[in-house]
Every structure is written in C-alpha cells, then in structure tokens.
Chains A and B, each alone.
Chain A
C-alpha cells in the first residue's frame, strides 16, 4: 500500500543560526533517501515560548514527526503533550527537556555530554605536552551544557594522574559575544604570562581566542582548543594558529533522527531503553537511559588533515 509519505518537521531554536543548517542538511538528505517530506521552521527569536505557535501549527498541519531543539526545558510541556496525544512522534534533537522527559518520545544528542569535559582536557593536554598552566574561556556563567563540561574538566584534572602537571589557573566567561570573549582572552594572556593552553568549549569563544592568538602571533606559546565549527575555524587551522579542536557532526543528528523516526513509526525500531538499530553510515545505535540516543561515541577531532572534509 503506498501510504502518504511520512511528514517530518524540524523546529529550530531561531532562524539565522548556521549550526542548524547542518542539522537540517542531515534531515533533508535522509528524507530524500527514505522518501519522507521534510520542512524546517523556526521562530525569529529564541525566547522560551516563541516555539509554541509553531508546534501548534505543525499539529494543525497533521505532521507525523516533530523534531525540535527546545528553547525551554518546560514551557513547551503542555503543547508537546497535545502533540503526543494526537499521535505525533516528538523528538528533541540537539538539546533536551531535562526533567520533563515524559513530554517527548526520545532525544537525539550528538555525544554523551558526560565525556565532553574529559575529552577536552585530553585534547589540550596532548597539545601542551601534559604540562603547564591552562585556562577555560566559556560561554555565559549560566550555560547548562558548558557548566556540565567544566565540572567534568575539573574532575578529570583532579583525579587522573596523567594530568597532574597541568594546573587550571582561571575560568572566564565571554558570554558567547565576540567582543567580550576577545577581551577576556586578552585579560587571560596578560594575567597569566605562563599560560600554555586555553580550552574554549563554545564556538564563539574558540573563534575569538584564536583571533587574539593569531593577531599577536603567539601560536607557538599558547595552544587554543575547544569546541568550534570547522567553517569558522578553517583559516586558523590552515595557518597553524590552532592545531586541533573538537566538535560533533550536527549533520548526523538530522540523519539519525529521520532514520529513527521512520523505523519507530513503521514498527521496525522499538523505542525502548536498551534496544538497538542500524543507521547507514553510523552503524549500530543503542537507545540509552531516558530514551536518549547519541549519534557518536566520542567527539570528532578536526585538524589540518581532515578539516576540508567538513563543511558546517
């Protein structure tokens, strides 16, 4: 029976955010190969309730699957409950409604966020020979993801003897604004003349830090790393300012979401903790506690050799 094609929509945090172009690309390609209809919508601002009319509209349009990068951990509860009651499969993609998991069917996150802090310490350690002063340039003081990673970094530095000769001298916040991040980076360099490495676990922070190091020509003294977008970091990697940095593939989140959604709706995938399924190019995926699904086991490291393969 040729049923109507599956209708999938992805609701982003807001428009004009290049990060979402890559996730959307994964959704689009997967929908093309599996024969689903796909639309991307997003409100103009990333304010807590701005996604509500968009969810209502998608319910009204009769879509089968809503993927959403939620702007609020709980303001969407009631409308998501409505969507689920209408039989729509609700997936949070690239961000979850922590504490309100009953209002979505599953969440698709790039990596297990518990290991990001550890991986980032290993990254900076490998760049500075596991010895010397390091600092963290983060987003805002309240950013939940970054704060979780910073806790992980501190724990790793304290507990793992491999990093005993590294000392974290400062954690500063650039508020994800280029100017403020630049100012904070400059301050780090003048306050800690022996600084050897900086971890900036935010795309704005790492670009600002790299810019400062590039313009001062001190790449051989201070190693900048963290989480960044290949498209923004390409030039810094090519001229040697940044040796290596990490991130995940947002593209794979969209790619996985569509395969998962189609499988669940057609009954080939059981949306239960512990069950596994196959996704082309990604291999075997396991559904973890809280119906949480990760697209990759570890962060992807970008360096001069591989950076040209990534276009997000």
Chain B
C-alpha cells in the first residue's frame, strides 16, 4: 500500500461483483440483447459481412469518439470534431480539385485538422474558456467555413481515391480495422501508462492533479490537438467512402460521438470512463441502428429506442459511479 496505489481498493468486494458493476458490463449486456433482438426482428440481420459493412458507415465517427472519450475523461468536451471533419475534407477536396498533387492535398487537410484542434486548445487552455462554449462556437465556425469553401455544390475526388471502405484486411473493411487497432492502442495508453493515469487524475480533480505535479495544461492541450488531427483523418476517410465532399459531411456527427462515449459509460463530468466502453458502445449503436433499419422499423420508433438506450445508459452509469464512490 504505497505511492502507486491509485485505485481505491475494497478488499471485501469479490472480484465478480466489481466486474459486474462496471458500466462497460452494462454496455456489453445491451450489445448481446441488441444482437439477439436484431436477429429476431429480421432474418437478414445476422450476417457478419453486413454488420461489418454497416459499421463502416459509422467507423469515422467511432474513431473520433475514441479520442473524445479521453477528452471527456480529462474533464473537457469537444463538440467540433464533426464540423472539423467537414472542413478538413472540403479543404482537401478543394485542393486536389484545383490541381494540387494528392499527397499535398491530404497534407493540407490534415494540417487544417491540427490547426482547428490548436484553436480549440488555445481558447480552452490558454484563455481558460469553458470547452463546451468554445467548441459550440467552433462547431458553427468550422461548418460555416466549409460552406464558404464548397458552397452548395459537392467536390468530387478521383476515382482511384474512392473506396477506403472496400479495402479488406482478413475480410474486415479497413476503416473497421483502423478503429479496432486504435482502440487497442488507446486502451493500453489510457489504462496502462502514467500518461493515462494522469488523464484520469486531471478529470477527477484538476487542482489536486496540478499540485501533484501533473502538467494538466500540456496534457489537455495535446488531447485537443490529437482530436483535431484524428477528426481530419476521419474526414478524409469519409471523402474516400462517399466519393464526393460537401459542406454537410458528418452533419450532426458530434451527437453520435457523444452518444457512443455516454453509452460506453464515460462520465460526462470527467475522471471516469474507458476505451473499452466506447468501443462496445460503437458496436451497440451500429447493431441497434442497422438491426432496426434492415427490419424496416419506422424511423420514429428507431429514435425512441436510441433515446431510451441513452437514458438507460446514463442512469445506470450514474448509479454505478455513485455506488462505487461511497
């Protein structure tokens, strides 16, 4: 019992019980129920290729949601990544359409994503403004700039660049592989490194973390840069999947990302949450949505089910966290 013991140890609780009351367990159970319900709703649902293919439609948002999970655990929020995706993709598409070589155009898109992350980071960390307000502002700003660049038209990408979702690795579409690999890497970083522990500590009590010598400003700054960069990667992937770019690419995607993090048990006030939770929640969202779509369930019912899921998840997360806090 010395310096490294950061997890509150409760020796009386048996291991199965601590496992059972983790929020990811709830996400996992919901996922199992979702798969079962989907297979009951339609005979066309239980087809691994179809589910993987459907996941590619959500994969870009899911990839960003993994980083967003870390941002939320650090006690901040970023609502601008979906707009960032659109602006990065528009800049990239506009650049390559005006004759700039493809690698440079991709570089422009990625640099733009990094810059957008930098702007958020500067306002949140250097100017000490609340991240929710800052990123609602930049959400509108980035989307607006995307519309200025692309207008109401769409910009095409060359034929050879189309189809990142058609590239298969061991029978799995590339965007899904990227999502899985990134989840593994981030899970190790967040769960197994000092850097990861520091993110949790900043989110739990930033003042205390700072007194403990954690450079919270620098860590949060790097998280905002990271999410900006990853959002631009996701934007360019979306451009490749759709074959064209418009200013309304990933419109409303920020809500899907937050939904994935929340469904996975990430605590909106920071300090708690896991990559595994968001990983499972992304699959849950895909399974529930496609399960209902392939069964031709009315969209109104679909919205009710998704809303209900989120409320269940939030109530359960709060209950679990308030229990374990005692």
Interface locus among B174-182, B221-229, B266-274, B298-306: B298-306
The CA-CA distance from A52 to B246 in the complex, in Å, is 15
B120 shortest CB reach to chain A, Å: 25
Known: A39-B296, A44-B300. A53 touches B241 (CB 8 A): no
**Are A57 and B163 in contact, CB atoms less than 8 angstroms apart?**
no
Closest to A47 in B: B251
Interface locus among B133-141, B287-295, B318-326: B287-295
Known: A15-B298, A52-B57. A57 touches B290 (CB 8 A): yes
Q: Which residues of B contact A142 (CB under 8 A)?
A: 152
Would you call B36 an interface residue if the criterion is a C-beta within 8 Å of the partner chain's C-beta atoms?
Answer: no
- Binary interface encoding of chain B residues 184-222 relative to chain A, with 1 for a CB under 8 A from any of its CBs, else 0: 000000000000000000000000000000000000000
Q: Which residues of B contact A54 (CB under 8 A)?
A: 293
Interface locus among A73-81, A161-169, A257-265, A296-304: A73-81
Count A-B contacts at CB 8 Å.
68
The CA-CA distance from A72 to B251 in the complex, in Å, is 14
Would you call B47 an interface residue if the criterion is a C-beta within 8 Å of the partner chain's C-beta atoms?
Answer: yes
The CA-CA distance from A60 to B51 in the complex, in Å, is 10
Known: A53-B54, A60-B50, A142-B152. A75 touches B294 (CB 8 A): no
The CA-CA distance from A173 to B110 in the complex, in Å, is 39
Known: A52-B57, A53-B290. A44 touches B152 (CB 8 A): no
The size bracket of the interface on B is 20 to 34
A306 shortest CB reach to chain B, Å: 34
**Are A53 and B293 in contact, CB atoms less than 8 angstroms apart?**
yes
Would you call B39 an interface residue if the criterion is a C-beta within 8 Å of the partner chain's C-beta atoms?
Answer: no
Closest to B56 in A: A56
A175 shortest CB reach to chain B, Å: 14
Q: Find residues 5-23 in chain A having any chain B CB closer than 8 Å to their own CB.
A: 15
**Are A77 and B154 in contact, CB atoms less than 8 angstroms apart?**
no
**Are B57 and A56 in contact, CB atoms less than 8 angstroms apart?**
yes
Choose from A43, A56, A75, A77 the contact partner of B246 (Cβ within 8 Å): A75
**Are B294 and A77 in contact, CB atoms less than 8 angstroms apart?**
no
Would you call B248 an interface residue if the criterion is a C-beta within 8 Å of the partner chain's C-beta atoms?
Answer: yes
- Binary interface encoding of chain B residues 238-259 relative to chain A, with 1 for a CB under 8 A from any of its CBs, else 0: 0001111010110110000000
Closest 6 CB pairs of A and B: A44-B299, A57-B294, A57-B293, A74-B244, A60-B50, A60-B44
Known: A57-B293, A78-B241. 13 other contacts (CB 8 A): A39-B296, A42-B299, A44-B303, A47-B251, A47-B252, A57-B290, A61-B42, A61-B44, A74-B156, A74-B242, A75-B242, A77-B242, A78-B242
